[in-house]
Structure 1
Amino acid sequence: MFPEIDKEKTGDRIRFFMELRGLTVKDVCKALSLGCVQAVYKWMDGVNLPSLDNIYCLSILFQVPID
């Protein structure tokens, strides 16, 4: 069985690293070339998970390892 990823915890981590780096939702959207801010809000609220590509980009943006 594959491990289940906790969406809420992932969203909390995204919010934490955004605050730590002083980034806004718009900053993240621009860095990841996203069309709208709703995707980031849904990640932060634990509604959706970022794609693997976006997780990789977030790790670079936040300067943290993916694990």
Structure 2
Amino acid sequence: MITLPAIDMVATGRNIQVMRQQAGLSVKDLQDFFGFATPQAIYKWQHGVAMPTIDNLVALAMIFGVSMDDIIVVDADARVQISA
């Protein structure tokens, strides 16, 4: 068994929302940037229900002028065990 740290999806979502607001962008602005038909994906990210894909994380980091590490929150106490 290998133990890995887990991503705190709720805290990561809060980061996305705060960074979006600090950038002066609306949910609609991000929806348009990503070419999404509806804003649901953005809301899911912000509420910690879903995570952006890696390519969308790269784009968010570019939009916000931060690194992906600044967006993602790792929960040091939560651990995920996987079988090798």
Question: TM > 0.5 between the two?
Answer: yes
Q: Could you tell me how far apart the structure 2 residues matched to 1:44 and 1:14 are?
A: 6
Q: TM-score, normalised by structure 2?
A: 0.75
Where structure 2 has 5 or more consecutive residues not aligned to the other structure, the ranges are 70-84
Q: How many residues in Structure 1 have an aligned counterpart in Structure 2?
A: 67
- Give 1 or 2: higher helix fraction: 1
Where structure 1 has 5 or more consecutive residues not aligned to the other structure, the ranges are none
Deviations 1:30-59 (A, max 9, x none): 112222100000110111111111101100
Q: Could you tell me how far apart the structure 2 residues matched to 1:55 and 1:34 are?
A: 15
Q: Which residue in the other structure is 2:64 paired with? A: 62
RMSD (Å) for aligned C-alpha atoms:
0.9
- Give 1 or 2: higher strand fraction: 2
Bigger radius of gyration among the two? 2
Structure number with higher relative contact order (C-alpha < 8 Å, ≥ 6 residues apart): 2
Moved beyond 6 Å, runs of 4+:
none
Name the % identity: 37
